Structure 1
Amino acid sequence: MTDEIDQLLIAALMDDSRLSLKALAQVSGLSAPSVGERLRKLEERGVIRGYTLEIDPKAFGYLLQAIVRVRPLPGRLHEVERLIQSIPEFTECDKITGDDCFVARLCVRDMEQLDALLDRLNGQAETNTAIVKKTPVKRRLPPMT
C-alpha cells in the first residue's frame, strides 16, 4: 500500500516527471534524501515502473489519430497480434473481451496512410475505425485511495 506522502509524490511526478528531489521534498515536506528513499522503495515494489515523456504526434506530422477495433478472422488471432505489434503507427493496443479482440490507437499523417495501414490487416481481420476528434481525458491514474 501507499500512504498519503507516497500518493502526493506520485501525483507530483504524474504532473511533471522531471521534478527534482529538492522540488519533491518541498511538495512533501520531507528531506531530499527521504524522498529519494521513498521513490526507490516505490520503484522496487513496482508501484513506479518508469518516468516518461509525453510527445505531441502532430510535431512529427501525425495529424490524425484513430481508435481501431480489430476482430481477427478465425485462426488468425496471434498473427494479427504480431502484425499490430510490427506496425509502429499503432501506439497502443489492448487485448479485450467481446466480439472484437483488440482496441488500438493509431497515429497517421493522413487518410491515405490510414487506409494503407488498415489494408495490411485486410484478409487477417475485420476492423472498425473511429477518428479521434478530441481527448477530453488524457491518460491518468485511477484514484489511489
Structure 2
Amino acid sequence: MELDDLDWKLLDLLQRDGRMTFTELAKRVTLSAPATTERVRRLERAGVITGYAAVVSPQRIGLPIEAIVRVRVRSLDTPRFRERIVPLAQVRDADHVTGDDCWLLRVVCRSTVELEEFVAQAQRYGDTTTSLVFSSAVRNRPVTREIADGIADR
C-alpha cells in the first residue's frame, strides 16, 4: 500500500497515543473528522494498522523477572513446541528466527524459580540459552516513514 504524508502523520500520532479521538486526530492533521475516520479505517482494512492495545508494566503487576530465552528446537519437535510452549502465559513475544537458535522468546515470571521451571519445559524441545533483562532502552518504537523509505541512517 502506498502511504502519503497524511497517512504517515496519522500513523505517527496513533502509535504514540492509540486512544486519541478522531476529532483530536482531525485537528492535528487539519482534516475533517469524517475524512480522518475514513483514512484510519482504510489503513485498518489494508492491514497497516493491526490493532490497538494498552501497554502494561509486568513489574507493576507482580512479574519482576523478564528474560530472553533462545531455543534451538529440534526440527521434529517444532509442532509440539508451538503447541505447548508458545501459548504459555509467561511468553510475551515469540519469534521464529533464523540462525543458530530457532526461537527467541521474551518471557516474564514472578520469580527465578518460575523462570527455571519455564526453561525446563522449553528444554524438552531443544537447547536453551537464557538472558535476564536488566533494562530495555527501546520498547515499541514507532514505525516511521524514514525507516520505511530506508533513509533513517542518512
Please report the TM-score for the alignment, with normalisation by the length of structure 2: 0.88
Matches of 1:142 and 1:86, distance apart in 2: 27
User: Does 1:12 pair with 2:28?
Assistant: no
Whole-angstrom distance in 1 between the partners of 2:75 and 2:98: 15
**Deviation sequence 1:64-108 (CA, Å, 0-9, x none):** 110110011352122122222231101110001112110010001
Residue type at the aligned position of 2:87: S
Q: Residue 38 in 1 paired to residue 18 in 2?
A: no
| Structure 2 counterparts to residues 1-145 of structure 1, below 5 A | 1-73=2-74, 75-144=76-145, 145=149
Deviates more, 1:118-127 or 1:88-97: 118-127
Kindly report the root-mean-square deviation, in angstroms, between the aligned alpha carbons of the 2 structures.
1.3
Give the total of aligned pairs: 145
Paired amino acid for 2:4: D
List, as ranges, runs of 4+ consecutive aligned residues in structure 1 with deviation greater than 4 Å. Answer: none
1:133 counterpart SS class: coil
Deviation at 1:18, TM superposition (A): 0.3
TM-score by length of 1: 0.93
Identity %: 31
Deviation (angstroms), 1:20? 0.5
CA contact (8 A) 1:72 1:126 kept: yes
- The code of the aligned residue for 2:32 comes to S
Please state how far the C-alpha of 1:141 moved relative to its aligned partner: 3.4
Amino acid at match of 2:65: L
Distance 1:74 1:3 in 2: 43
The CA distance in 2 between the partners of 1:143 and 1:8, in whole Å, is 9
Report what 2:152 is aligned to.
none
- Cα distance per residue 1:34-68 (max 9 Å; x no partner): 10010111111111111111111112200011011
Deviation at 1:129, TM superposition (A): 0.5
